[in-house]
A and B are shown apart, each in its own frame.
Chain A
Amino acid sequence: MGNETADVVVIGGGIIGMATSYYLSKLGLDVVVVEKGEIAGGTSSKCDGNILAIDKEPGFDSQMSLKSQELVTELVKELDEEFEYRAPGSILVCENEEEMVAANAWVEHQKQAGLPFRMLDRNDIKSEWKYMADDIYGGLECATDSTVNPVLFTYALAVTAKRLGVRLKTHTTVTKIRLDANGAVEGVETSSGLIYTKQVVNAAGVWSKHIGQMVGIEVPIEPRKGHILVSSRTKSIGTRKVMEFSYLMSKFGKERKVDEETEKYGVALVFEPTASQNFLIGSSREFVGFQTQINVDVIRCIARRAIRFFPVMKDIPILRSYCGLRPWTPDHLPIVSRVEEVPGFYIAAGHEGDGISLAAITGKVMSELITDQKTTITTDPLRYDRFQKTEV
Protein backbone atom coordinates (compact mmCIF):
# COMPACT_ATOMS: atom_id res chain seq x y z
CA MET A 1 0.00 0.00 0.00
CA GLY A 2 3.06 2.23 0.03
CA ASN A 3 2.57 3.48 3.57
CA GLU A 4 5.27 5.71 4.91
CA THR A 5 7.57 4.86 7.77
CA ALA A 6 9.64 7.05 10.09
CA ASP A 7 11.84 6.73 13.16
CA VAL A 8 9.92 9.56 14.79
CA VAL A 9 6.75 11.46 13.92
CA VAL A 10 6.57 14.97 15.40
CA ILE A 11 3.04 16.37 15.71
CA GLY A 12 3.04 20.17 15.36
CA GLY A 13 5.14 22.54 13.23
CA GLY A 14 5.49 25.29 15.84
CA ILE A 15 8.76 26.39 17.40
CA ILE A 16 8.82 23.36 19.73
CA GLY A 17 8.12 20.80 17.01
CA MET A 18 10.69 22.36 14.69
CA ALA A 19 13.41 22.57 17.35
CA THR A 20 12.76 18.94 18.29
CA SER A 21 12.91 17.86 14.64
CA TYR A 22 16.10 19.79 14.05
CA TYR A 23 17.95 18.19 16.98
CA LEU A 24 16.62 14.73 16.09
CA SER A 25 17.78 15.08 12.49
CA LYS A 26 21.22 16.15 13.69
CA LEU A 27 21.46 12.77 15.39
CA GLY A 28 20.64 11.11 12.06
CA LEU A 29 17.08 10.03 12.78
CA ASP A 30 14.45 9.80 10.08
CA VAL A 31 11.79 12.34 11.09
CA VAL A 32 8.38 13.32 9.71
CA VAL A 33 6.62 16.48 10.95
CA VAL A 34 2.83 16.53 10.64
CA GLU A 35 1.32 20.02 10.83
CA LYS A 36 -2.38 20.71 10.29
CA GLY A 37 -1.76 24.26 9.02
CA GLU A 38 1.46 25.99 8.11
CA ILE A 39 4.87 26.00 9.79
CA ALA A 40 4.64 28.53 12.65
CA GLY A 41 0.93 29.01 11.94
CA GLY A 42 -0.06 28.44 15.59
CA THR A 43 1.03 30.29 18.72
CA SER A 44 4.61 30.60 17.45
CA SER A 45 3.61 33.44 15.10
CA LYS A 46 1.32 35.22 17.58
CA CYS A 47 3.85 36.11 20.23
CA ASP A 48 6.88 38.18 21.18
CA GLY A 49 10.40 36.87 20.73
CA ASN A 50 11.90 37.42 24.16
CA ILE A 51 14.44 34.99 25.54
CA LEU A 52 14.44 35.90 29.19
CA ALA A 53 16.15 34.98 32.43
CA ILE A 54 15.09 38.21 34.18
CA ASP A 55 11.73 36.80 35.25
CA LYS A 56 12.84 33.29 36.22
CA GLU A 57 13.26 31.99 39.76
CA PRO A 58 16.94 31.22 40.43
CA GLY A 59 17.37 27.48 40.36
CA PHE A 60 15.98 25.04 37.83
CA ASP A 61 13.87 27.69 36.07
CA SER A 62 16.70 30.08 35.35
CA GLN A 63 19.24 27.34 34.61
CA MET A 64 16.94 25.95 31.94
CA SER A 65 16.58 29.42 30.38
CA LEU A 66 20.30 30.12 30.48
CA LYS A 67 21.09 26.77 28.88
CA SER A 68 18.56 27.49 26.16
CA GLN A 69 20.05 30.95 25.69
CA GLU A 70 23.45 29.34 25.18
CA LEU A 71 22.07 26.91 22.61
CA VAL A 72 20.44 29.81 20.72
CA THR A 73 23.81 31.49 20.31
CA GLU A 74 25.06 28.23 18.78
CA LEU A 75 22.01 28.04 16.53
CA VAL A 76 22.81 31.51 15.20
CA LYS A 77 25.90 29.89 13.67
CA GLU A 78 24.44 26.45 12.89
CA LEU A 79 21.18 27.28 11.11
CA ASP A 80 20.97 28.06 7.38
CA GLU A 81 19.09 31.35 7.84
CA GLU A 82 19.27 34.22 10.26
CA PHE A 83 16.45 35.17 12.66
CA GLU A 84 17.15 38.68 13.94
CA TYR A 85 18.97 37.54 17.06
CA ARG A 86 20.14 40.34 19.37
CA ALA A 87 21.21 40.29 23.02
CA PRO A 88 20.80 43.81 24.44
CA GLY A 89 19.65 42.71 27.91
CA SER A 90 16.27 43.58 29.37
CA ILE A 91 14.91 45.67 32.23
CA LEU A 92 12.01 45.68 34.66
CA VAL A 93 10.72 48.99 36.03
CA CYS A 94 9.09 49.71 39.39
CA GLU A 95 6.13 52.00 40.06
CA ASN A 96 6.46 52.34 43.82
CA GLU A 97 8.73 51.85 46.82
CA GLU A 98 7.26 48.46 47.65
CA GLU A 99 8.18 47.10 44.24
CA MET A 100 11.69 48.54 44.61
CA VAL A 101 12.13 46.57 47.84
CA ALA A 102 10.91 43.38 46.19
CA ALA A 103 13.10 44.09 43.14
CA ASN A 104 16.12 44.53 45.37
CA ALA A 105 15.54 41.15 46.99
CA TRP A 106 15.10 39.60 43.55
CA VAL A 107 18.40 41.08 42.33
CA GLU A 108 20.32 39.90 45.42
CA HIS A 109 18.86 36.43 45.01
CA GLN A 110 19.91 36.33 41.33
CA LYS A 111 23.39 37.69 41.99
CA GLN A 112 23.98 34.98 44.57
CA ALA A 113 23.11 32.48 41.85
CA GLY A 114 25.83 34.11 39.71
CA LEU A 115 23.58 35.89 37.22
CA PRO A 116 24.38 39.32 35.71
CA PHE A 117 21.64 41.32 37.47
CA ARG A 118 21.83 44.88 38.87
CA MET A 119 19.53 47.54 40.32
CA LEU A 120 18.84 50.76 38.38
CA ASP A 121 17.96 54.00 40.14
CA ARG A 122 15.78 56.83 38.89
CA ASN A 123 18.75 58.47 37.16
CA ASP A 124 19.84 55.30 35.40
CA ILE A 125 16.32 54.95 34.02
CA LYS A 126 16.03 58.59 33.04
CA SER A 127 19.34 58.63 31.18
CA GLU A 128 18.56 55.52 29.14
CA TRP A 129 14.83 56.17 28.61
CA LYS A 130 14.08 59.77 27.83
CA TYR A 131 10.40 59.03 27.13
CA MET A 132 9.73 57.07 30.33
CA ALA A 133 7.18 58.62 32.73
CA ASP A 134 8.83 60.85 35.36
CA ASP A 135 7.35 59.07 38.38
CA ILE A 136 9.05 55.73 37.76
CA TYR A 137 11.09 54.80 40.83
CA GLY A 138 13.79 52.70 39.23
CA GLY A 139 14.20 49.12 38.16
CA LEU A 140 16.56 46.27 37.49
CA GLU A 141 18.51 44.87 34.59
CA CYS A 142 19.50 41.43 33.36
CA ALA A 143 22.38 42.06 30.98
CA THR A 144 22.30 38.80 29.01
CA ASP A 145 18.65 38.63 27.90
CA SER A 146 18.10 38.36 24.17
CA THR A 147 15.46 38.50 21.51
CA VAL A 148 14.66 36.85 18.18
CA ASN A 149 12.02 37.04 15.49
CA PRO A 150 10.00 33.95 16.47
CA VAL A 151 8.62 33.25 13.01
CA LEU A 152 12.00 33.53 11.31
CA PHE A 153 13.50 31.39 14.08
CA THR A 154 10.92 28.67 13.41
CA TYR A 155 11.48 28.93 9.64
CA ALA A 156 15.27 28.75 10.12
CA LEU A 157 14.91 25.54 12.14
CA ALA A 158 12.51 24.14 9.52
CA VAL A 159 14.71 24.96 6.53
CA THR A 160 17.79 23.46 8.17
CA ALA A 161 15.91 20.38 9.40
CA LYS A 162 14.63 19.88 5.87
CA ARG A 163 18.15 19.99 4.50
CA LEU A 164 19.09 17.33 7.05
CA GLY A 165 16.33 15.08 5.70
CA VAL A 166 13.26 15.90 7.81
CA ARG A 167 10.02 15.59 5.83
CA LEU A 168 7.54 18.38 6.54
CA LYS A 169 3.88 17.53 5.92
CA THR A 170 1.93 20.77 6.20
CA HIS A 171 -1.86 21.02 5.82
CA THR A 172 -1.99 17.50 7.16
CA THR A 173 -3.92 16.71 10.34
CA VAL A 174 -3.20 13.91 12.77
CA THR A 175 -6.49 12.10 13.30
CA LYS A 176 -5.52 9.01 15.29
CA ILE A 177 -2.56 7.31 16.93
CA ARG A 178 -2.36 3.54 16.51
CA LEU A 179 -1.22 1.41 19.41
CA ASP A 180 -0.20 -2.25 19.22
CA ALA A 181 -1.45 -5.11 21.40
CA ASN A 182 0.86 -4.02 24.24
CA GLY A 183 -0.31 -0.41 24.13
CA ALA A 184 2.86 0.87 22.48
CA VAL A 185 2.90 3.35 19.59
CA GLU A 186 2.66 1.67 16.19
CA GLY A 187 1.70 4.45 13.80
CA VAL A 188 0.07 7.80 13.17
CA GLU A 189 -3.01 8.25 11.03
CA THR A 190 -3.25 11.54 9.18
CA SER A 191 -5.60 13.21 6.72
CA SER A 192 -3.26 12.04 3.98
CA GLY A 193 -2.51 8.51 5.12
CA LEU A 194 -0.84 6.30 7.68
CA ILE A 195 2.76 6.68 8.86
CA TYR A 196 4.29 3.68 10.63
CA THR A 197 6.48 4.72 13.54
CA LYS A 198 7.33 3.55 17.02
CA GLN A 199 7.91 7.04 18.38
CA VAL A 200 5.64 10.06 18.43
CA VAL A 201 6.28 13.51 19.90
CA ASN A 202 3.20 15.50 20.90
CA ALA A 203 4.35 19.08 20.19
CA ALA A 204 0.89 20.44 19.48
CA GLY A 205 1.05 23.39 21.90
CA VAL A 206 -2.42 24.31 23.19
CA TRP A 207 -3.86 21.44 21.16
CA SER A 208 -1.71 18.80 22.86
CA LYS A 209 -4.50 17.85 25.25
CA HIS A 210 -6.53 16.69 22.25
CA ILE A 211 -3.57 14.67 20.91
CA GLY A 212 -3.11 13.11 24.38
CA GLN A 213 -6.71 11.95 24.36
CA MET A 214 -5.93 9.95 21.20
CA VAL A 215 -3.84 7.62 23.40
CA GLY A 216 -6.12 7.86 26.42
CA ILE A 217 -4.12 10.25 28.60
CA GLU A 218 -5.00 13.63 30.12
CA VAL A 219 -2.45 16.34 29.31
CA PRO A 220 -3.14 19.25 31.69
CA ILE A 221 -2.53 22.09 29.19
CA GLU A 222 -5.02 24.95 28.73
CA PRO A 223 -5.01 27.98 26.40
CA ARG A 224 -4.14 31.30 28.06
CA LYS A 225 -4.91 34.11 25.66
CA GLY A 226 -2.66 37.13 25.14
CA HIS A 227 -3.08 40.28 23.02
CA ILE A 228 -0.32 42.33 21.41
CA LEU A 229 -0.41 45.78 19.77
CA VAL A 230 1.94 46.71 16.93
CA SER A 231 2.94 50.36 16.50
CA SER A 232 3.64 51.96 13.16
CA ARG A 233 7.20 52.94 12.35
CA THR A 234 8.24 55.74 14.64
CA LYS A 235 11.12 57.52 16.29
CA SER A 236 13.04 55.26 18.64
CA ILE A 237 11.44 55.02 22.07
CA GLY A 238 14.13 52.65 23.29
CA THR A 239 16.48 49.98 22.04
CA ARG A 240 15.71 47.07 24.32
CA LYS A 241 12.98 45.32 26.19
CA VAL A 242 11.17 46.88 29.15
CA MET A 243 8.61 45.20 31.34
CA GLU A 244 6.94 46.34 34.52
CA PHE A 245 8.15 44.65 37.69
CA SER A 246 4.61 43.86 38.76
CA TYR A 247 4.52 41.57 35.68
CA LEU A 248 6.40 39.13 37.91
CA MET A 249 3.59 39.31 40.42
CA SER A 250 0.99 38.51 37.76
CA LYS A 251 3.14 35.74 36.35
CA PHE A 252 3.36 33.95 39.65
CA GLY A 253 -0.19 34.83 40.67
CA LYS A 254 0.92 37.24 43.41
CA GLU A 255 -0.95 40.41 44.27
CA ARG A 256 -0.52 43.59 42.22
CA LYS A 257 -1.63 47.14 42.88
CA VAL A 258 -3.54 47.98 39.71
CA ASP A 259 -7.08 48.90 38.71
CA GLU A 260 -9.79 46.30 38.33
CA GLU A 261 -9.69 45.93 34.54
CA THR A 262 -5.91 45.66 34.41
CA GLU A 263 -6.15 42.93 37.02
CA LYS A 264 -9.08 41.16 35.35
CA TYR A 265 -7.37 40.91 31.94
CA GLY A 266 -3.94 40.24 33.47
CA VAL A 267 -2.51 43.24 31.62
CA ALA A 268 1.15 44.11 32.20
CA LEU A 269 3.44 46.24 30.08
CA VAL A 270 5.88 44.50 27.77
CA PHE A 271 7.67 46.87 25.37
CA GLU A 272 9.69 45.24 22.62
CA PRO A 273 11.43 47.19 19.84
CA THR A 274 11.59 45.12 16.63
CA ALA A 275 14.14 44.96 13.84
CA SER A 276 11.62 46.76 11.59
CA GLN A 277 11.76 50.15 13.37
CA ASN A 278 8.50 49.74 15.19
CA PHE A 279 7.61 48.20 18.52
CA LEU A 280 5.30 45.63 20.06
CA ILE A 281 3.27 46.34 23.17
CA GLY A 282 1.87 43.54 25.29
CA SER A 283 0.20 41.91 26.92
CA SER A 284 -2.73 40.24 28.63
CA ARG A 285 -3.28 36.85 30.29
CA GLU A 286 -6.78 35.36 30.21
CA PHE A 287 -8.45 31.97 30.31
CA VAL A 288 -11.22 32.30 27.73
CA GLY A 289 -10.99 28.97 25.92
CA PHE A 290 -9.89 28.70 22.30
CA GLN A 291 -11.47 31.88 20.97
CA THR A 292 -9.00 34.21 19.28
CA GLN A 293 -11.06 37.30 18.49
CA ILE A 294 -9.51 40.64 19.41
CA ASN A 295 -11.27 41.96 22.51
CA VAL A 296 -11.35 45.75 22.24
CA ASP A 297 -11.72 46.17 26.01
CA VAL A 298 -8.47 44.26 26.48
CA ILE A 299 -6.45 46.17 23.89
CA ARG A 300 -7.81 49.45 25.27
CA CYS A 301 -6.54 48.42 28.68
CA ILE A 302 -3.13 47.51 27.20
CA ALA A 303 -2.92 50.90 25.42
CA ARG A 304 -3.71 52.68 28.69
CA ARG A 305 -0.99 50.73 30.48
CA ALA A 306 1.53 51.59 27.74
CA ILE A 307 0.75 55.31 28.04
CA ARG A 308 1.12 55.11 31.82
CA PHE A 309 4.78 54.16 31.35
CA PHE A 310 5.42 56.00 28.06
CA PRO A 311 3.16 59.08 27.86
CA VAL A 312 4.65 59.88 24.43
CA MET A 313 2.84 56.87 22.95
CA LYS A 314 -0.45 58.75 23.18
CA ASP A 315 0.22 60.16 19.72
CA ILE A 316 1.86 57.13 18.09
CA PRO A 317 -0.35 55.21 15.65
CA ILE A 318 -1.15 51.54 16.14
CA LEU A 319 -0.74 49.44 13.02
CA ARG A 320 -2.61 46.34 14.12
CA SER A 321 -3.21 43.95 16.95
CA TYR A 322 -3.18 40.19 17.25
CA CYS A 323 -3.61 37.55 19.88
CA GLY A 324 -2.30 34.10 20.60
CA LEU A 325 -2.95 31.21 22.96
CA ARG A 326 -0.20 30.33 25.41
CA PRO A 327 -0.02 26.66 26.32
CA TRP A 328 -0.46 26.90 30.11
CA THR A 329 0.32 24.18 32.67
CA PRO A 330 -0.69 24.21 36.37
CA ASP A 331 2.89 24.73 37.64
CA HIS A 332 4.19 27.05 34.87
CA LEU A 333 6.79 24.52 33.73
CA PRO A 334 6.49 22.73 30.38
CA ILE A 335 6.11 18.99 29.96
CA VAL A 336 9.19 17.53 28.25
CA SER A 337 8.86 13.85 28.93
CA ARG A 338 8.17 10.32 27.87
CA VAL A 339 4.82 8.88 28.89
CA GLU A 340 5.52 5.61 30.69
CA GLU A 341 2.08 4.08 30.20
CA VAL A 342 2.22 4.54 26.41
CA PRO A 343 5.65 3.31 25.25
CA GLY A 344 6.93 5.45 22.37
CA PHE A 345 4.73 8.46 23.22
CA TYR A 346 6.48 11.70 24.21
CA ILE A 347 5.24 15.18 25.11
CA ALA A 348 7.04 18.47 24.41
CA ALA A 349 4.45 21.13 25.17
CA GLY A 350 3.05 23.52 27.75
CA HIS A 351 5.64 26.31 27.60
CA GLU A 352 3.10 29.05 28.29
CA GLY A 353 4.88 32.40 27.77
CA ASP A 354 8.34 30.89 27.32
CA GLY A 355 8.14 28.64 24.28
CA ILE A 356 10.49 30.76 22.21
CA SER A 357 12.96 31.01 25.11
CA LEU A 358 12.88 27.31 25.84
CA ALA A 359 12.56 25.83 22.34
CA ALA A 360 16.27 25.11 21.94
CA ILE A 361 16.73 23.32 25.27
CA THR A 362 13.42 21.49 24.78
CA GLY A 363 14.40 20.21 21.34
CA LYS A 364 17.84 19.17 22.54
CA VAL A 365 16.54 17.31 25.59
CA MET A 366 13.78 15.67 23.57
CA SER A 367 16.34 14.32 21.08
CA GLU A 368 18.36 12.98 24.02
CA LEU A 369 15.35 11.29 25.65
CA ILE A 370 14.35 9.61 22.39
CA THR A 371 17.85 8.27 21.76
CA ASP A 372 18.35 7.23 25.40
CA GLN A 373 21.24 9.58 26.08
CA LYS A 374 22.08 11.50 29.22
CA THR A 375 20.10 14.75 29.05
CA THR A 376 21.76 18.20 29.00
CA ILE A 377 19.73 19.27 32.04
CA THR A 378 17.85 17.15 34.56
CA THR A 379 14.30 16.51 33.38
CA ASP A 380 12.66 15.48 36.65
CA PRO A 381 10.77 18.78 37.09
CA LEU A 382 9.49 18.44 33.51
CA ARG A 383 8.09 14.91 33.78
CA TYR A 384 4.54 14.21 32.69
CA ASP A 385 3.77 12.10 35.77
CA ARG A 386 4.41 14.98 38.20
CA PHE A 387 0.77 15.98 37.77
CA GLN A 388 -0.56 12.48 38.37
CA LYS A 389 1.36 12.23 41.66
CA THR A 390 -0.11 15.42 43.12
CA GLU A 391 -3.65 14.42 42.20
CA VAL A 392 -3.54 11.08 44.04
Chain B
Amino acid sequence: MSNSIIVCRCEEVTVENLEDAYHTGAITSRQIKMKTRATMGACQGRVCRNLVDLWMGNKNPLASKGVEQLSYRPPVRPITFGELAGEE
Protein backbone atom coordinates (compact mmCIF):
# COMPACT_ATOMS: atom_id res chain seq x y z
CA MET B 1 0.00 0.00 0.00
CA SER B 2 1.29 3.43 -0.88
CA ASN B 3 1.55 5.66 2.17
CA SER B 4 -0.46 8.49 0.68
CA ILE B 5 -3.57 6.32 0.12
CA ILE B 6 -6.56 7.71 2.01
CA VAL B 7 -8.10 5.10 4.29
CA CYS B 8 -10.82 7.24 5.86
CA ARG B 9 -12.27 9.78 3.47
CA CYS B 10 -14.48 11.62 5.95
CA GLU B 11 -11.59 12.48 8.24
CA GLU B 12 -8.91 12.39 5.53
CA VAL B 13 -6.70 9.83 7.23
CA THR B 14 -3.91 8.29 5.15
CA VAL B 15 -1.98 5.06 5.56
CA GLU B 16 0.90 7.24 6.66
CA ASN B 17 -1.21 8.66 9.51
CA LEU B 18 -2.00 5.11 10.64
CA GLU B 19 1.69 4.20 10.46
CA ASP B 20 2.64 7.24 12.54
CA ALA B 21 0.06 6.47 15.18
CA TYR B 22 1.18 2.84 15.29
CA HIS B 23 4.79 3.79 15.80
CA THR B 24 3.99 6.13 18.67
CA GLY B 25 2.29 3.36 20.56
CA ALA B 26 -1.27 2.94 19.27
CA ILE B 27 -1.36 -0.82 18.92
CA THR B 28 -5.06 -1.66 18.71
CA SER B 29 -7.84 -0.57 16.35
CA ARG B 30 -9.43 1.44 19.11
CA GLN B 31 -6.25 3.35 19.89
CA ILE B 32 -5.62 3.97 16.18
CA LYS B 33 -9.13 5.35 15.88
CA MET B 34 -8.74 7.65 18.87
CA LYS B 35 -5.41 8.97 17.63
CA THR B 36 -6.14 9.45 13.95
CA ARG B 37 -9.96 9.89 14.00
CA ALA B 38 -10.20 7.19 11.28
CA THR B 39 -13.76 5.73 11.35
CA MET B 40 -15.04 8.68 13.40
CA GLY B 41 -16.38 10.81 10.54
CA ALA B 42 -19.72 11.42 8.91
CA CYS B 43 -20.22 7.89 7.55
CA GLN B 44 -19.56 6.42 11.00
CA GLY B 45 -16.87 4.14 9.63
CA ARG B 46 -19.16 2.32 7.23
CA VAL B 47 -16.54 2.65 4.52
CA CYS B 48 -13.28 2.29 6.40
CA ARG B 49 -14.00 0.29 9.56
CA ASN B 50 -13.04 -3.03 7.95
CA LEU B 51 -10.00 -1.48 6.29
CA VAL B 52 -8.71 -0.16 9.60
CA ASP B 53 -9.35 -3.49 11.34
CA LEU B 54 -7.63 -5.35 8.50
CA TRP B 55 -4.64 -3.03 8.44
CA MET B 56 -4.31 -3.37 12.20
CA GLY B 57 -4.61 -7.15 11.99
CA ASN B 58 -1.73 -7.25 9.51
CA LYS B 59 0.44 -5.08 11.73
CA ASN B 60 -0.32 -6.89 14.89
CA PRO B 61 -2.19 -10.18 14.62
CA LEU B 62 -2.95 -10.03 18.33
CA ALA B 63 -4.61 -6.63 18.07
CA SER B 64 -8.00 -7.93 17.05
CA LYS B 65 -7.92 -11.14 19.04
CA GLY B 66 -10.04 -10.85 22.15
CA VAL B 67 -9.79 -7.11 21.89
CA GLU B 68 -12.68 -4.69 21.55
CA GLN B 69 -13.75 -4.48 17.93
CA LEU B 70 -14.65 -1.04 16.67
CA SER B 71 -18.26 -0.38 17.53
CA TYR B 72 -21.15 1.51 16.02
CA ARG B 73 -22.59 4.24 18.18
CA PRO B 74 -26.17 5.41 17.81
CA PRO B 75 -27.74 7.28 16.13
CA VAL B 76 -26.66 5.08 13.25
CA ARG B 77 -27.91 7.44 10.53
CA PRO B 78 -27.12 11.13 11.08
CA ILE B 79 -30.12 13.17 12.19
CA THR B 80 -30.23 16.79 13.28
CA PHE B 81 -30.56 18.09 16.82
CA GLY B 82 -34.00 19.35 15.80
CA GLU B 83 -35.18 15.95 14.57
CA LEU B 84 -33.95 14.27 17.71
CA ALA B 85 -35.56 16.88 19.91
CA GLY B 86 -38.84 16.14 18.16
CA GLU B 87 -39.25 19.58 16.66
CA GLU B 88 -41.00 19.99 13.30
Contact = CB atoms under 8 A, between A and B. Distances in A.
B35 interface: yes
A300 B79 CA distance: 12
A390 to B, nearest CB: 40
Interface residues of B, number: 30
Nearest to A81: B24
B87 A320 contact: no
A151 interface: yes
A318 B68 contact: no
Given A38-B30, A294-B74, A159 B25 contact: yes
Q: Is the interface of A mostly helix, strand, loop or mixed?
A: mixed
B85 interface: yes
A197 to B, nearest CB: 25
Interface residues of A, number: 37
Main secondary structure of the interface of B (DSSP, over half): loop
Interface stretch (A124-132, A302-310, A351-359, A367-375): A302-310
A317 B34 contact: no
A299 B84 contact: yes
Contacts of B26: 155
A377 interface: no
Nearest to B78: A317
Interface in A201-242: 229, 231-233
A249 interface: no
Contact of B34 (A151, A307, A313, A314): A151
A300 to B, nearest CB: 6
B18 to A, nearest CB: 15
Contacts of A319: 40-42, 44, 78
Given A41-B68, A304-B85, A316 B44 contact: no
Nearest to A315: B80
A70 B67 CA distance: 36
Contacts of A322: 73
Contacts of A318: 75, 78-81, 84
Nearest to A314: B82
Given A300-B85, A307-B87, A321-B73, A232 B78 contact: yes
B73 A307 contact: no
Contacts of A162: 25
Contacts of A152: 34-35
Q: Give the residue among A81, A306, A316, A318 with the most B Cβ atoms within 10 A.
A: A318
Nearest to A37: B68
Interface in A121-156: 151-152, 155
Interface of A: 37-41, 45, 81, 151-152, 155, 158-159, 162, 171, 229, 231-233, 276, 281, 294, 299-300, 303-304, 306-307, 313-322
The 4 closest A-B pairs by CB, nearest first: A314-B82, A303-B85, A320-B73, A303-B84
25 contacts: A38-B28, A38-B31, A38-B68, A40-B34, A155-B25, A155-B31, A155-B35, A159-B25, A229-B84, A232-B42, A294-B73, A300-B86, A303-B84, A306-B85, A313-B81, A314-B80, A314-B82, A315-B80, A315-B82, A317-B79, A317-B80, A318-B79, A318-B84, A321-B73, A321-B75
